[in-house]
Amino acid sequence: MANTDTDTATDLQTGGKSSNKAGTETGGADTGERRVKPDIAAGVSVIQAQVRRLGSSPGVYRMLDHKGDVLYVGKARNLKKRVTSYTSPAKLVPRIFRMVSETVSMEIVTTHTEVEALLLESNLIKRLRPRYNVLLRDDKSFPYILITSDHAAPRIVKHRGARKRDGDYFGPFASAGAVNRTITALQRAFLLRNCSDPIYNARTRPCLQYQIKRCAAPCVDYVSAADYDEMVGQARAFLGGRSRDVQQEFADRMQSASEEMEFETAAMYRDRIRALTAIQAHQDIHVDGIEEADVIALHAEGGTTCIQVFFFRAGTNYGNRAYFPSHDKTEEDGEVLAAFLGQFYDDKPPPRLVLVNLEPVEQALIAEALSIKAGRRVELARPMRGSKRKLIEHATANARDAWGRRMAESASQRRLLEGVAETFGLEGTPNRIEVYDNSHIQGTNAIGAMIVAGAEGLTKNAYRKFNIKNVTQKPEAPETAPGLSEGPQSGYDAGPVSPEVTPVQAGDDYAMMKQVLTRRFARALKEDPDRESETWPDLVLIDGGQGQLTIAMEVMDELGIDDVPVVSIAKGPDRDAGRERFFMPDHKPFTMERRDPVLYFLQRLRDEAHRFAIETHRARRSKGLTRSVIDEIPGIGAKRKRALLHHFGSAREITRAGLADLETVDGISSTVARKIYDHFHDDP
């Protein structure tokens, strides 16, 4: 069990921000929101102050900047010795030198063992994402196959996320497609149901799955409970590694049925054998003796790294996935691989065997940590010969090829970004482009959308949506209204921009854009006034014409932002793609050559912003369709709403119900009944 010297267990669950409250041991003073410039002497002083209070126990340390953001998370067998190493600036590599210069406080967590420290370090790195650590990016969840055990007739289904439902989980699979193909083949082989429990319970006759021979129809008792349980057991055995035993059993039964002239039964087993064979036919590589293993290969070149992971379960290749961890160019390959292993297995069970193409630092310690996490022995090995070596070579070749593809894509993306910089006269190649668009229907469910693109393409985890707030009804338009080229449309308040949310008239696209940009950049100024993070754009693209550009520049002027280029892109006549007009401050509108790759790139960005805005708007509108007048009553949650609807049958009847009738509903007290009644009646 870990002991915290500088923070509490609660802090570990809330992101590790340094609050410097009473009772919190820190190595630096409370800096609040003021600007703190990097200072190597000050950083060393902070660390030295911590060293005087440290013991020789193992643990985890965190270095924080003046905002309380975590710069680095590290673990140590001997905390005092490890942290002391940061107090000699002359011996530090440039990356660590910069980190120490930015450090204004430290937090320490002591643990009983170094393995415990390693597990905690991996968890904190993955959750806090400190910029000086090796970071595992694109860590999407993997799909699994679940055979449930909380129902009399178990179900086979694809599963992602937390394992909350009782049952047996098999995987991981590299892709949803691999899972879907496997489930289809397993249904043909074992005739297991995949319908939901409510549908199963409501069946009175077999469904299409039975007709196409993918289910034994236990819902209508076409198969006995004992026979269905046998099928479930066979499926679990096949996925659990006994695939050959199951196939041999089917082959024996097919032969026996054939000898007894039961050709239909023999044909059934023949088809089931073919289905099992189809599962194994999708393997790209297969090695005898590998039942449960992950094959992990690293390829690094030019300061960037690709790590390829192949999954083998039940003797079957479940596919592979490539990762591109973020790290400093000075990091050694063994350090990158060690950090990857810790973060990769932080939220998933490790297999019995992990094969790697090079030795990670502290290999024995990592193997011990994985064994503790799995609750059984996990072998971490670098094979040097034989069939396992061929597996590693195959994975390494895939890592090298994936790295090459990523570099080619990055080079192409970089050329496009350079073209954008040349087209709009930017000072440098943009690393972050933000594109904005709005979506609504006659002013209802209005949404503002922001997408982000950079050197690696679309950055979808940086996308943002803005629910337009404080929408009012739009008054009738006056007889004359300015055109787009003359500025904002009638009814728009072109007064000073304020971070406060001002009223937006329904359907006023200009006011909506003003609110979106004001909220975005007012918050950016508040959270990062010194532009230290990479969340500030190098270019802002607005979907629209001169009017939208005018609004955007007013927002920037009022907020005092004069170094963010803004461009609006308007569709051509008759919305003709290729004839878009571009508007920039102090420039005449211009068009680009129809075949210009940069134009295609900008069109894709605009279309992506439009797609994201429309999808977000539709999602909000769909959610609004399910709301009722009951949702407007304070204190009425889903449970009480359900009880009211079940009792009265509709929202309209609830609005007409008397006080005495409301009090008879389960879960509705007299106080709540009075609140509901008063909400729908003028008189108490």
Residue 374 DSSP symbol: H
Core vs surface per residue 277-298: b (16+ CB within 10 A) or e: ebbeeeeeeebeebbebbbbbb
Vertex 666 angle, CA 665 and 670, to 5°:
65
Task: Say if residues 609 and 516 touch (Cβ distance below 8 Å).
Answer: no
Question: Where does residue 504 fall: left (phi above 0), alpha (psi -120 to 50 degrees), or beta otherwise?
Answer: beta
Residue environment code for 301-335, b if the CB has 16+ CB neighbours within 10 A, otherwise e: eeebbbbbbbbbbbbbbbbbbbbbbebbeebebbb
Q: How many CB atoms lie within 10 A of CB 442?
A: 9
Tell me what percent of the residues of the chain surpass a pLDDT of 90: 33
With both helix axes pointing from N to C terminus, report the angle between 363-374 and 114-128 in degrees, rounded to the nearest 10: 80
SS3 73: strand
Residue 271's contacts (CB-CB under 8 Å, 6 or more residues apart) are 188, 213
pLDDT in tens, 638-675: 788 878 877 777 777 788 888 888 888 888 888 888 88
Cα of 84 vs its chain's centroid, Å: 37
Separation of alpha carbons 669 and 663, rounded Å: 6
Rounded-to-integer distance, Cα 416 and Cα 434, Å: 15
Element (H, E) at 281: helix 263-281
Hey, what are 108's tokens? 């320490």
- Amino acid sitting at position 579: R
User: Where do the domains of the chain lie, and which CATH numbers do they carry?
Assistant: 3-128 (3.40.1440.10), 144-281 (no CATH), 293-405 (3.30.420.340), 432-474+488-619 (3.30.420.340), 629-680 (1.10.150.20)
For residue range 404-449, what is the model confidence (pLDDT) as tens digits? Answer: 888 877 788 888 999 999 999 998 899 999 999 887 655 566 788 8
Q: How confident is the model at residue 507 (pLDDT cuts 50, 70, 90)?
A: low
Name the average pLDDT for the chain: 81
Number of H helices, E strands in the chain: 21, 21
* Rounded-to-integer distance, Cα 590 and Cα 65, Å: 45
pLDDT at 309 over 60: yes
Residue 578 and residue 512 in contact, taking contact as beta carbons nearer than 8 Å: no
C-alpha–C-alpha distance, residues 474 and 512, integer Å: 13
pLDDT in tens, 595-610: 888 998 999 899 898 8
Predicted TM-score (pTM) of this structure: 0.63
CA 112 from centroid of its chain's CA atoms: 33
Tell me if 553 sits within 8 A of 577, measured CB to CB.
no
Quote the CA–CA distance of 404 and 393 in Å, as a whole number: 17
Residue 348 has pLDDT above 90, yes or no: no
In this prediction, residue 506 carries a pLDDT of 62
Residue 662's pLDDT is 87
Is the alpha carbon torsion for 508, 513, 518, 520 positive or negative?
Answer: positive
Residue whose tokens read 């910029």 = 131
Q: How far is CA 235 from CA 230, 242, 524, in A?
A: 9, 10, 54
Cβ of 670: how many Cβ atoms within 10 Å? Answer: 11
For the chain, the C-alpha Rg in angstroms (whole number) is: 31
Q: What percent of the chain has pLDDT over 70?
A: 82
Query: Which whole number is the average pLDDT over 324-329?
Result: 88
- Tell me if residue 522 falls in helix, strand or coil: helix
80 and 110 Cβ atoms separated by less than 8 Å? no
Of 517, 497, 503, give the one whose Cα is nearest residue 437. Answer: 517
The encoded tokens of residue 242 equal 């006994």
